[in-house]
Amino acid sequence: MLPPAGEQAETEGMDIPSRTVFIAGATTGIGLELARRFAAAGSTVIAGGRRTGLLGKIADEGLATAVIDVTDQASIDRARDTILPSHPGLDTIITMSGIGIPEDLRDPAHFSAAEQTIDTNLLGTIRVIDAFTPHLIGRGAGTIITVTSGIGFLPFPVMPTYAASKAAVHAYSEALRAQLDGTGIDVSELIPPAVALTPEAKQRNPHALDLADFGAEVMDLLATGPTPHEILVKGVLMHRWAERDGTYHELVAQRSQALAMLPSRR
Ligand SMILES: NC(=O)c1ccc[n+]([C@@H]2O[C@H](COP(=O)([O-])OP(=O)(O)OC[C@H]3O[C@@H](n4cnc5c(N)ncnc54)[C@H](OP(=O)(O)O)[C@@H]3O)[C@@H](O)[C@H]2O)c1
């Protein structure tokens, strides 16, 4: 049970063992990693996503699941109308669903990638939050965790709309927190750096964090409170604070070298 709004001591972290958490975008990657960690710590977890085969395997692990496509309002409404009656104590929403597509801005054909990215990463986040906020307000307590990226603060020019979508979700999260002030709902923004989901991804980018290490650090940050406005593992600090630290232009120039990987530039 969550304490009534405002009663949780400022120094306390999230009461992870007693949460009921819906993670939209938990069929793979960071979402699945956090779903398993919340469940292992004692939370009730509902893992969401489009791929029903993966959801079936997750259900076999003992987690609840919900089919959801965050680009489809009817699908989100169905997911909410399935989840809330079976989990009336739902108190935590994590908007993890996201896609990142390389785009060559010299080729107008990139526009469909831009549309898909905004539809999933930005509008998908807004749709899911809108679907569950009335329930959380009704409870008078809860947590919304949005998911951005170090790239939202330090662009990776290979994925321009991805960076824009994550910067937008950052700004949206700030406004959401201000608008929900006094309702008992915390808004926290998870800002991952590069996280390698597979050994092959680690080979391609040796600087990327291992998924398990990232997951453990995030759970530690949530457990030792108060629940932060921004969930910042150590590996993302150089991205998050590049502008303040005066390293921004140098780092963007470094990251621009990766533009050579776009097929049209090879
Ligand atoms: N890995 C990194 O380096 C990194 C760094 C910074 C930020 N992030 C962010 O972390 C989040 C998770 O990414 P990941 O790296 O773990 O990638 P991932 O393994 O590809 O996971 C993406 C998740 O989003 C779901 N998803 C995508 N489109 C969806 C849609 N239309 N409706 C519902 N769910 C959808 C996918 O499920 P289905 O396909 O089954 O629907 C999947 O569960 C993303 O928001 C990403 O931008 C990742």
Residue 3 clears pLDDT 50, i.e. is over it: no
129-173 residue pLDDT tens: 999 999 999 999 999 999 999 999 999 999 999 999 999 999 999
Residue 257 clears pLDDT 60, i.e. is over it: yes
Instruction: Tell me, using a 6 A CB cutoff, whether residue 157 lines ligand 1.
Output: no
Instruction: Grade residue 264 by pLDDT with cuts at 50, 70 and 90.
Output: confident
The span from the CA of 243 to the CA of 249, in Å, is 8
Instruction: Tell me, using a 6 A CB cutoff, whether residue 70 lines ligand 1.
Output: yes
Instruction: Tell me, using a 6 A CB cutoff, whether residue 144 lines ligand 1.
Output: no
Residue 89 clears pLDDT 50, i.e. is over it: yes
How far, in Å, are 10, 79, 107, 255, 259 from residue 264 at the CA level?
52, 40, 9, 18, 10
Instruction: Grade residue 47 by pLDDT with cuts at 50, 70 and 90.
Output: very high
Residue 1 clears pLDDT 70, i.e. is over it: no
Overall pTM > 0.75: yes
180-230 residue pLDDT tens: 999 999 999 999 999 999 999 999 999 999 999 999 999 999 998 788 999
Instruction: Tell me, using a 6 A CB cutoff, whether residue 195 lines ligand 1.
Output: yes
pLDDT at position 11: 61
Q: Whose CA is nearest to atom 45 of ligand 1?
A: 98
Q: Which of 27, 54, 67, 191 most suits a substitution to test ligand 1, by most atoms within 8 Å of the C-beta?
A: 27
Q: Quote the radius of gyration of the chain (alpha carbons, Å).
A: 18
Instruction: Tell me, using a 6 A CB cutoff, whether residue 97 lines ligand 1.
Output: yes
Q: Whose CA is nearest to atom 26 of ligand 1?
A: 97
Instruction: Tell me, using a 6 A CB cutoff, whether residue 25 lines ligand 1.
Output: yes
Q: How many Å lie between the centroid of ligand 1 and the Cα of residue 99?
A: 6
Instruction: Tell me, using a 6 A CB cutoff, whether residue 50 lines ligand 1.
Output: yes
In this structure, what are the phi and psi dihedrals at residue 85, rounded to the nearest 5 degrees? Answer: -65, -35
The span from the CA of 51 to the CA of 245, in Å, is 41
Q: How many Å lie between the centroid of ligand 1 and the Cα of residue 5?
A: 31
Percentage, residues of the chain above pLDDT 70: 96
SS3 233: coil
Q: How many Å lie between the centroid of ligand 1 and the Cα of residue 95?
A: 9
Q: What DSSP character marks residue 121?
A: I
Q: How many Å lie between the centroid of ligand 1 and the Cα of residue 25?
A: 6
The span from the CA of 35 to the CA of 44, in Å, is 9
Residue 228 tokens read as 């932060």
Q: How many Å lie between the centroid of ligand 1 and the Cα of residue 93?
A: 15
Closest ligand 1 atom to residue 100 Cα is 47
Residue 9 clears pLDDT 80, i.e. is over it: no
pLDDT at position 109: 93
Q: Whose CA is nearest to atom 46 of ligand 1?
A: 98
The span from the CA of 40 to the CA of 216, in Å, is 12
- The mean predicted confidence, pLDDT, of the chain is 95
Closest by Cα among 242, 238, 152, 246 to 191 = 152
Instruction: Grade residue 52 by pLDDT with cuts at 50, 70 and 90.
Output: very high
Q: How many Å lie between the centroid of ligand 1 and the Cα of residue 7?
A: 34
